[in-house]
Amino acid sequence: MTLVKSSSGIRGILGGKVGKCFSPIDIIQFAAGYVSWIKKKHKNQKKFVLILGRDGRVTSILFQEFLIITFQSLGVDVINIGLSTTPTVGIAVINEKADGGVMLTASHNPKNWNGLKMFNSHGEFLSEKDFEKLLYIAEKKYFNFSSYKKLGHLFYKKNYIQKHIEKILSLSIIDKKIIQKAQLKIVIDGINSTGGIAVPILLKSLGVHVVKMYCDPHGDFVHNPEPIEKNLREICKKVPDLKANLGISVDPDVDRVVFICENGDFFGEEYTLVSIADYILENQLGPIVSTLSSSHALKDLSIKRGVPYYSTPVGEIHVVKKMKEVHAIVGGEGNGGIIYPKFRYGRDALIGIALFLTHISKLNNIPLSKLKKRYSNYFMSKKKIRFFVHSHERHKRMKILLKTIKKKYEGRKMDFSDGIKIYFKSNEWIHIRKSNTENIIRIHAESPSRKRANYLSKKIRYEIKKL
């Protein structure tokens, strides 16, 4: 097992050799590299401030001490906002005019993982170019620690989640009164992380009757924390049992959100972005952006609304970059990640929830099972293959794999901007790519037919395993 390093951050499994896991030494090394990168970027600046937040994982409260000591030892002041969400750290960076920020989280990965998500001074993830510079500095250990007279200071600021929520509720597109009038009853699965704090606060501020599931942020996840259908069977059963209007599930750092229909059906992580984009386009027309692995349903919506649609490689930074280029009014990823640029350029489950609830409330509290029928009906099969090779071999193996697949499907329309995407019909495709967050190959296949989507993904998975 090796550390996974990408523009999505650094993450790894706990336990093992230095450089092969998320160890205290690796934490210190990458944290020092990050600070040194910031100092190099702002050469004429003398004083630096960083925001630090953490999710509810068992190890996050321990590992934050390594980060605080490292930052202070490099002469940087730290504002520790404690239990937080990834988007809340981004908001805090902007509010405090900080030079950056770090969220201690492994996002949707299981509880035996942890990691670091790093922000620039705009409260956004680092670009690929900046991240490569950071890695180079960290690996070469190009950092200088401060003398005892120049050590950084530590400050604590509480209630940043509340500030984040207040900022969301101040947006004119969020109609608090109409949500309150709808008198919604919602079940929330907080996966025993910070979503268990943040989502109930938001919902109660909107006048929602909240039923909590796993909202104690002690980090002992009771199920796989990735918010996808197979991991959410319990909440899917509980919503109709309690006669709730819907269910909400988030990942441990609250940058992804999915919804459960009133009848217990899974609304679908791909349709989080589709439905919210639909609401935003009701208020303002403009370009929309998602990734190559996201559902064709969003493109269908853009055609229906008469607005441009753009796709990017998978990853928040790629979506944000394209959104800025084309002045998109909304964007995100099909995994339940929503980016609303009038608020902040970054995925945010809390803004996603507020937009979604305004949408359904303005549609006279439409049942989610009925709402989904407004959109193109596609089925997506998501598979993965473990990629157990050393990091220096991985790029070479992936190159050979993609070259073989390209040759096999020669003659079909393909996209090579992120792995390989093969189009079978205008609305049927397979996307094969190396994950940014785990040592796996991801295979996404979509079709108007569930049977066909499953067949396509199984077929390509079998072909890859034979190589």
| Each residue's pLDDT expressed in tens, for the chain with a length of 467 residues | 578 888 889 999 999 999 889 999 999 999 999 999 999 999 889 899 999 999 999 999 999 999 999 999 999 999 999 999 999 999 999 999 999 999 999 999 999 999 999 999 999 999 999 999 999 999 999 898 999 999 999 999 999 999 999 999 999 999 999 999 999 999 999 999 999 999 999 999 999 999 999 999 999 999 999 999 999 999 999 999 999 999 999 999 999 999 999 999 999 999 999 999 999 999 999 999 999 999 999 999 999 999 999 999 999 999 999 999 999 999 999 999 999 999 999 999 999 999 999 999 999 999 999 999 999 999 999 998 886 555 566 677 788 888 888 898 998 999 999 999 999 987 899 999 988 888 889 999 999 999 999 999 999 988 887 77
Q: Where in the chain is the domain with CATH 3.30.310.50?
A: 379-466
Sheet holding 337-339, edge to edge: 309-312, 288-291, 330-333, 337-339
| Reported CATH class of domain 180-374 | alpha beta
| Reported CATH class of domain 4-160 | alpha beta
pLDDT of residue 393: 67
pLDDT of residue 435: 86
C-alpha to C-alpha distance for 183 and 351, rounded to whole angstroms: 19
CATH number of 379-466: 3.30.310.50
pLDDT of residue 339: 98
Torsion angle, alpha carbons of 37, 41, 42, 46, to 10: 20
pLDDT of residue 4: 87
C-alpha to C-alpha distance for 226 and 109, rounded to whole angstroms: 7
pLDDT of residue 392: 60
CB atoms within 10 A of CB 141: 10
pLDDT of residue 1: 57
Token look-up 């003659």 returns 411
Sheet holding 414-415, edge to edge: 379-386, 440-447, 428-434, 420-425, 414-415
Q: Where in the chain is the domain with CATH 3.40.120.10?
A: 4-160, 180-374
